[in-house]
Structure 1
Amino acid sequence: MNRLFFFTLLISITSCINNKDVKKENITIKSKIPNIVYILADDMGYGDLSSLNPESGIQTPHMDKIVKEGVHFTDAHTNSSVCTPTRYGILTGRYAWRSRLKEGVLYGYDKPLIEDDRPTIASYLKTNGYKTACIGKWHLGLGLQSEDSNKPIGNKKGLNTNVDFSKKIKGPNALGFDYSYIIPASLDMPPYVYIENGKVLELPSAYTKGKSQNKEGRGVSWRQGEKAPSFVFENVLNNITKKTVSFIDNQKRVNSPFFIYFSLTAPHTPWLPVGKVVGKSKAGRYGDFVTMVDDAVGSVVDALEKAGKLENTLIIVTSDNGSHWKLQDKKEFAHRANYKFKGQKADIYEGGHRVPYIAQWPGVIPAGLQSNQIMCTTDLFSTLSGILNKPNVESGAEDSYNLWPAYLSNKVTPIREAIVHHSFNGMFSIRKDKWKYTPNLGSGGFTKPKSIKPKANEASGTLYDMVNDPEEKNNLYKDYPEVVKELEQLLKKYKKQGYSNKL
């Protein structure tokens, strides 16, 4: 059976049944399964890609090529508008607000957020014959061992943190990854070390006083704290890209499929473009740093081609939330990192969680396809189970839906009921079909005002028609009380259940 016929048949099956039914139907279809490379940019906006934003101040030829040769989603969302909770959602298929993290993010010394017994994409794929790798930014908490068990781990000053870095660290390898090469959190959060398979490669015997963008310029900042003597902030993106390329190169003569979760450190602050990209964009340091992101994507694609793996590899490129492109940046540059969408990273507004989402698989995903299917980054788990035509996990991936048909056709189908959005400060909104409802006023994130108390006779929340008003300009809260009531009740049900009504 050839691959094209296999996927034609698979579309027919997945459009009629959900993943839970595959096991019941006992359907078996044999085909060569794909390698999967998931590239997660850090704080990259929809408008950063020149193929998605005609007026972008940045040229992104490598990502544009994926758009040209594969599919791009116009209505893709992260489950949260900040780093940690989105990463939790991607790897578990579950909204992070169902975990202990109700708002904000973790820091470098925090305990693991993903529960020990929770299935992850890595553990699921490993069970199905994949070799799995996690390379880059982790930001989901680590099982650090203390020097003194009677004292807490970590502190704001980053000195005397009570961590024994010579001991084994619990991290990605405990969650299904065969190989891991990571930094603990964002590039502006200590400890500044590389950790390979649970072992710190160089002890953090040095210390950085940190940098402030008030002195160094917009976007150049990181916190004070412990660092390895040879840790150079400007080199991190290139280092993790080289590790990913090396991992791919090592798969040349390996027949088993592989999964790479390549989590970039850019274009999150500190903005540290180096080499030939400096001055290349029309969006300052930030734009140049996005150019480095694009180059990293190009390096991965080139490595796959050289290893003879490109033809049977599904490549996905997306971002963990919208860009941290502030009002001051908009005043200085014509570039709109979050395209036409309102708000920025951390906000409940579209700019906080609507992101670029592009994918290619030569000969399988049609070239130049545009999908308007509403989707969420939590959907990766069930989508991969749909690709493999394997049963999804019995317990877990509660908020994940099989969106594979949308990768192959521009036909929009009602696969999921709704998406729940979540902001940095813990504000909720819900999207069903064209309607987006938020029970509160304000951004819930970085954009001021974060919270607004409604005046007498004013709407206490917002309702937007996202098809006709994607910029969220016309609040229809009072015009459609029946829609407000429906979405209010649906959101309450999701929150009360602790899991979606999918199960």
Structure 2
Amino acid sequence: MNRPLLALASLFSLVIGAVSAPAADKPNIIFILCDDLGSGDVKCFNPEGKIATPHMDRLAKEGVKFTDAHSGSSVCTPTRYGVMTGRYAWRSKLQSGVLGGLSPRLVEQGRLTVANLLKEQGYSTHCVGKWHLGMDWVRKGEVAELNIESADQVNNVDYTKPITNGPTSVGFDTYFGISASLDMVPYCFIENDHVTANPTETMKLEMNAAGGRKSFTREGPGAPGFRGEDVLPALTERAKKIIAEKAAAAAKGSPFFIYLPLNSPHTPILPSEKWVGKSGISLYADFVMETDDAIGQVMRATEEAGIGQDTLIIVTSDNGCSPSADYPKLAAAGHNPSAIYRGHKADIFDGGHRVPFIVRWPAKVRGGQTSTQLVCLTDFMATAADIVGAKLPDNAAEDSFSFLPALLGESGQTTRKSVIHHSINGSFALREGDWKLELCAGSGGWSDPRPGSPGEKGLPDTQLYHLKDDIAEKNNLQSSEPAVVTKMTAELEKIIADGRSTPGAAQKNAVDVLVRKPTPAAKGKKKAK
């Protein structure tokens, strides 16, 4: 390790280790992040839902179900950045959209992550799954920094060389998974800092035998024999293996942390052969059921290893369900992945970012609870610090509030009072109490009215909804409640300008942040640093 990195590691150790919980009070932690699982796809959150999810339902019965939980963004990469850092991703250089499978590292050098935090507290740390936060591949030429790759970029990577700045550079002892979504190159597994098999074949859009499933949606390099159907089972088996290997040490006071970002039920919708047709609804519903089963297997692995009581399991999703999930078939069966909420993945509406969120920790948390506490996935880092008794420095987890009081049933101990939402095109919203302010004319995403569409023309450039009376966001009150709009806009601008939403010294955003997208409908563009 070079001197700057060694000094940085020592600093982390001093700051984080200043206060520490006894080893016996440090649970094993498994954070399971489903991909594009809608809030209405989980039966315990949507009794009207038509997809069976017995394992998530059991988890909720034995833990706490949060009904007002939100991803940091309505798309995946920025949400993952928030989970890892406790910071809204729009404070980074990524202001809209997502990364590709070959994009460079997004998490800044020197930034404290939840993996760093727990490692300094004596945890062994493991990442298993879809990373989608960038890593540095050896290039043969120039490459665009953030966008999904062009054919030229795909073909100038030397896949035989070690990868740098991946998960093992931000605090994880081990990594096994895929670089991004299964519709992004390269189509291969990665172990720590190298591909497990060189992607020497060209994968194309093709149809599989089981119901006309699409295997890949972007042509590019793949490893021989690599199949999308095999990814979820492989990730599940690897997580179970780590649990089995670390159980003995965990029982003696050396806990582990597994970050398990699944590839499912994101497109391409590829349930394993044995799950095809199980739902009787659609392949997407089959894939949700297989995802639920994978979660059940992880739960059972902790119980069979004798560490179920002392293992904290979180299950959630990175954003709402994608419109590519074959909504017509789901609707025909009476199923809505967004339940009662408007919109879906990519949108500023609640269907884009309101997600299922379940926490089980038998040793400390009473089961069967339902919490209405406002939660954002950025809150995982502060909660982990709270659990292990670590103090976070001012320049870390700037948008992370601990939800441990809600887990422990401490009434009146509300920590988060507002949350900022962000859509795929970079539109902002502020939620505070029952009010939700949206600084865009339409969805900011993929549902109607889409940005720049004829349906958006002529609409007010601001939306204000009172969610207690209008959870479906149908009645825009911006014209009748100008004082609320003014007050909430100022609050949003201040949170952006301060570089943090938590108490502490002001911090800097990586770039100037546009409060409003520069569209003809959005008047009075403002900037905050």
Same fold (TM over 0.5): yes
Cα deviation for residue 275 of structure 1 reads 3.5
CA shift at 1:31, angstroms?
Answer: 4.1
**Consecutive unaligned residues in structure 1, runs of 5 or more:** 1-21
Q: Residue 173 of structure 1 aligns to a residue in which SS?
A: helix
**Partner residue, 1:15:** none
C-alpha change, 1:449 and 1:220, in structure 2 (3 Å) is farther
Structure 1 residue 298, shift from structure 2 partner: 0.6
Residues 353/417 of structure 1: CA separation in 2 closer, same or farther (3 Å cut): same
Q: Name stretches of at least 5 consecutive residues in structure 2 with no aligned partner.
A: 1-14, 505-529
Instruction: Name the residue aligned to 2:526.
Output: none
Q: Which residue in 1 is equivalent to 2:500?
A: 499
User: How far does residue 28 in structure 1 lie from its aligned partner after superposition?
Assistant: 6.7
CA contact (8 A) 2:206 2:214 kept: no
Give the secondary structure class of the aligned counterpart of 1:310. coil
The match for 1:260 is 258
Shift of 1:330: 5.2
In the alignment, the residues of structure 1 paired with residue 21 and residue 211 of structure 2 have an alpha-carbon distance, to the nearest angstrom, of 59
2:32 corresponds to which residue? 39
Task: Quote the residue 2:373 is aligned against.
Answer: 373
With over 3 angstroms needed to count, the CA separation of the structure-2 counterparts of 1:94 and 1:371, relative to structure 1, is: same
Q: Quick one: which amino acid aligns to residue 57 of structure 1? A: K
Taking the aligned partners of 2:446 and 2:241, their CA distance within structure 1 comes to 38
Q: CA RMSD in A?
A: 2.5
Q: Counterparts of 1:281 and 1:485 in 2: how far apart (Å)?
A: 48
Query: Do the aligned residues in 1 keep the contact of 2:314 with 2:358 (CA within 8 Å)?
Result: yes
1:413 to 1:160, Cα distance in 2 relative to 1, 3 A? closer
Rate the CA distance shift 1:492–1:446 in 2: closer, same or farther, 3 A.
same
In structure 1, the residue matched to 2:98 is 105
Q: Where do 1:314-325 residues align within 5 Å? A: 314-325=312-323
- Which residue of 1 is the match for residue 357 of structure 2? 357
CA–CA distance in 2 between the matches of 1:25 and 1:164? 43
Q: Is the 8 A contact 1:399 1:502 kept in 2?
A: no
Alignment of 1:68-467 (within 5 A): 68-146=61-139, 148-149=140-141, 155-157=149-151, 161-170=155-164, 171-211=166-206, 221-254=216-249, 255=252, 256-325=254-323, 328-329=328-329, 331-409=331-409, 411=411, 413-451=413-451, 455=458, 459-467=460-468
Percent of residue pairs identical: 43
| Residues 1:368 and 1:250: Cα distance change in structure 2 (over 3 Å) | same
Does the 8 Å contact 1:325/1:338 carry over to 2?
no
CA contact (8 A) 2:154 2:220 kept: no
- Contact preservation (8 Å) 1:205, 1:227: yes
Q: Residues 332 and 159 of structure 1: is their aligned pair in 2 closer, same or farther, counting only changes over 3 Å?
A: farther
Separation in 1 of the partners of 2:346 and 2:299? 30
Q: Secondary structure at the match of 2:334?
A: coil
Name the CA distance, whole Å, in 1 between partners of 2:91 and 2:211: 39
Secondary structure of the equivalent of 2:248?
coil
State the 1:64 CA deviation: 0.4
Task: Give the direction of change, closer, same or farther, for the CA distance of 1:46–1:64 in structure 2 (3 Å limit).
Answer: same
1:136·1:263 contact (CA, 8 Å) conserved in 2?
yes
For residue 390 of structure 1, report the CA deviation from its aligned partner. 1.8
TM-score w.r.t. length of structure 1: 0.90
With structure 2 as the length reference, what TM-score do the two structures score?
Answer: 0.85
- The equivalent of 2:9 in structure 1 is none
Report the Cα distance in structure 2 between the residues aligned to 1:121 and 1:300, rounded to whole angstroms.
21
Q: What is the rounded CA distance, in whole Å, between the counterparts of 1:77 and 1:53 in structure 2?
A: 16
Q: Is the 8 A contact 2:281 2:330 kept in 1?
A: no
1:489 aligns to 2:490 (yes or no): yes
SS in 2 for 1:252: helix
Amino acid at match of 1:500: S
Q: Distance in 1 between matches of 2:261 and 2:206?
A: 23
Q: 1:50 to 1:25 in 2, by over 3 A?
A: same
Distance in 2 of aligned mates of 1:421 and 1:242: 34
Q: CA contact under 8 A between 1:158 and 1:225: conserved in structure 2? A: no
| 2:12 equivalent in structure 1 | none
